[in-house]
Every structure is written in structure tokens, then in C-alpha cells.
Amino acid sequence: MSEPLTAEYEITLRVDAPVSAVWEEISTLDQLLARAPEVVSVEPHPREPDRAIWQGRMVWGRLQWNVDGDARILERKAGKHLLFSSEIPTLDAHYQGIFVLAPGAEDVTVLGYRGSFVCRHRLHRLMKPALTFVLEDHVETVATRVARRAAKHSQFEASMALREARERGDGPDP
């Protein structure tokens, strides 16, 4: 039996939002999987809140294939890090992702996301370029979507707070 395909990819982003806003975007599997470009649907596990079954479509050029996955949160420390994994039986593959959050300047968060992939599919050597592309696209897209949504949410909250302050008469005039 040949050695499995292993790949790892990571990204670090500056997010214009407090840690709490970024954490809200990734704190549950539903939220996290909704940010993944390859995930089409998510079904929470009926008895395990930190587990979900997902269906997806992986695309590389003209090549497309449907996959199913079983994801679970392995470790969670609110506002600090989230470790999760996903088994993908169709590809005889295992994915593990970790988000790490750190406060930056005021209302700024440093978001790190690393994904690791191990594939034992009998054709993994032929699929290496496609699977590597999918991994890199997944990590970059998920991190960017999390950052963008957290920043928008933070901006909305700040504008609402300013509006309420103006209405009370203790905020700056427009």
C-alpha cells in the first residue's frame, strides 16, 4: 500500500472586529460549515451537538465530485481556538482544521486558520493536484468569509450603538 496523500495549508488575517465577533462566526459547526465553499448542506447530529453530517461538491476545473462528510468539534475554548475534524468516506480522507484567535489593536483580531488533509483513496496520486487546490481554496475562502462577516457584524453593531447614543442625546452629532 502506498503512502497517503498529506497536505497542509494555513492563512493568517487581520480582522477589523473584536474577538467576540469573530468567535460568533465559528463557534458552532453549522456556522463553520456554512462558510465552506464545498459544503452544499448540513444536517446537525440529533444526539451530539458538536457533530454534523454534511454533503458537498468539490470542484477543480471541469472535474466535480459529490462527497459526504461527518464533522465534529474536537476542542473548543471560547474566543481562543476551535479544533474540528471531518471524515470524508468517499475519498477515504480525514480533514482537521484549527482556528486560533488573538486580540490585536482595539477592535482588531488576528485570525489564523490551518487545515490538514490525509487521503488514502486508491487514486490519491492522480487526485493530488485537485485535492491540494480544494484544500487551499477551502482554507482561504473560509477564513476570508469569517473575517468579512465578523467585520460587517461589528460595523453594524457600532453604527447601531452610535445611533442609539445620538437618540439619547449623548452621542456626536452627524
pLDDT at 79: 94
pLDDT at 123: 86
pLDDT at 17: 93
pLDDT at 164: 63
The length of the chain is 174
In-domain check, residue 174? no
**On the CB side of 50, how many CA atoms lie within 13 Å of its CA?**
10
- CATH code where residue 39 lies: 3.30.530.20
In-domain check, residue 160? yes
Number of domains in the chain: 1
Distances (CA, A) of 172 to 45, 72, 120, 158, 164: 48, 46, 60, 13, 11
Question: Virtual CA dihedral for 37, 28, 135, 56, nearest 10 degrees?
Answer: -50
In-domain check, residue 103? yes
In-domain check, residue 137? yes
Q: Is 107 helix (H, G, I), strand (E, B) or coil?
A: coil
In-domain check, residue 148? yes
pLDDT at 127: 83
Q: What is the pLDDT along the chain (174 residues), one digit of tens a residue?
A: 579 999 999 999 999 999 999 999 999 898 899 999 999 999 998 899 899 999 999 877 787 889 999 999 999 999 999 999 999 998 999 999 999 999 988 889 999 999 999 999 898 888 888 888 888 999 999 999 999 999 997 765 655 555 666 666 665 555
pLDDT at 126: 84
In-domain check, residue 31? yes
Total Cβ atoms within 10 A of residue 109 = 26
In-domain check, residue 173? no
Domain membership of residue 10 as a residue range:
5-168
